[in-house]
Structure 1
Amino acid sequence: MVAMTIRAIRGAITLDRDERDHLHARTTELVEAIMRENALTTDDLISVIFTCTPDIVSDFPAAAARELGFGAVPLMCAQEMAVPGALPRVVRVMMHAQVDRPREEISHVYLRDAVSLRRDLAQ
């Protein structure tokens, strides 16, 4: 048995357009998938960092997470680097969670066109 430890869980999803409701729907899709795939509750979470590509300005992905009940979890948003040719309209997330599983059993979730970012981690 593995002792409880802190693991970083990564994920990403793409948007079709930069609109608040669409951003919230896609962020919800991503967060719920990570929580489900890793059998997490908000009590397991230490903190969550979201990043967006510079072409997403309609709202903060953390606002969608708060609507999911993440109000007691420290949340932060930041902007990704503006690298020429990078995949557009991407929301990324890194969740820090206390879990009792080894690193190789953590499920990182990449959805929609974001699968191309980490084919080695995408399911």
Structure 2
Amino acid sequence: MVRGLRGATTVELDDEKTVLAATEALVVEMAEANRISPDDIISVLISTTKDVTSTFPAKAVRTIGGWTYVPVMCTHEMDVPGAMPLCIRALMHVNTDIPQRLIQHIYQNEAVKLRPDLQK
């Protein structure tokens, strides 16, 4: 079964080290919370708000041990007035037997405000 795992985080400033660390922490927690190994991951789509331009967040994913061959792509979010700034979102497509209702979507830092209904 293919499932989508969602996640988001924010950074306090747009610099390469901060963006890469936040992205790595997000995708690692997404995988660990759902007991997903890199071999289970079909692809990861990462988006950022327009104010995150210091680096490609996908670079962080490619450097995680065992994740070298996971397909990753970056894009920008829609620029909607009032949107949360400095936000990094991830959509991970995975092979898993976990029922949809039991998937744990991960929201970190200020991004917890995006989906308070998914917080446990």
TM exceeds 0.5?
yes
Please tell me the residue identity of whatever aligns with 1:67.
T
Task: Return the offset for 1:58.
Answer: 0.4
Gaps in structure 1 of 5+ consecutive residues: none
Give the counterpart of 2:85 among 88, 92, 112.
88
Identify the match of residue 100 of structure 1 among 73, 97, 106: 97
* In 1: Cα distance, 2:45 partner to 2:119 partner: 19
For residues 67 and 49 of structure 1, the distance between their equivalents in structure 2, rounded to whole angstroms, comes to: 16
TM-score normalised by the chain length of structure 2? 0.96
Query: What is the rounded CA distance, in whole Å, between the counterparts of 1:75 and 1:41 in structure 2?
Result: 15
Equivalent-residue separation in structure 2 for 1:89 and 1:31 (angstroms): 17
User: For residues 66-117 of structure 1, what are the alpha-carbon distances to aligned partners after superposition, in whole Å with 9 as ceiling and x for unaligned?
Assistant: 0114221111100001111111000000000000111011100000100000
TM-score normalized with structure 1 length: 0.94
Q: Which runs of 5 or more residues in structure 2 are unaligned? A: none
Q: Output one character per residue of 1:42-69: Cα deviation in whole Å (capped at 9) or x when no partner.
A: 0000010000000000011100000114
Q: Secondary structure at the match of 1:58?
A: coil
Q: Secondary structure at the match of 1:93?
A: strand
Aligned-CA RMSD value? 0.8
Partner of 1:17 in structure 2? 13
Residue 78 of structure 1 aligns with which residue? 75
Cα distance in 1 for partners of 2:89, 2:101 equals 20
Residue matched to 1:29:
25
Matched, 1:50 2:38: no
d(CA) in 2 for partners of 1:9, 1:31: 10
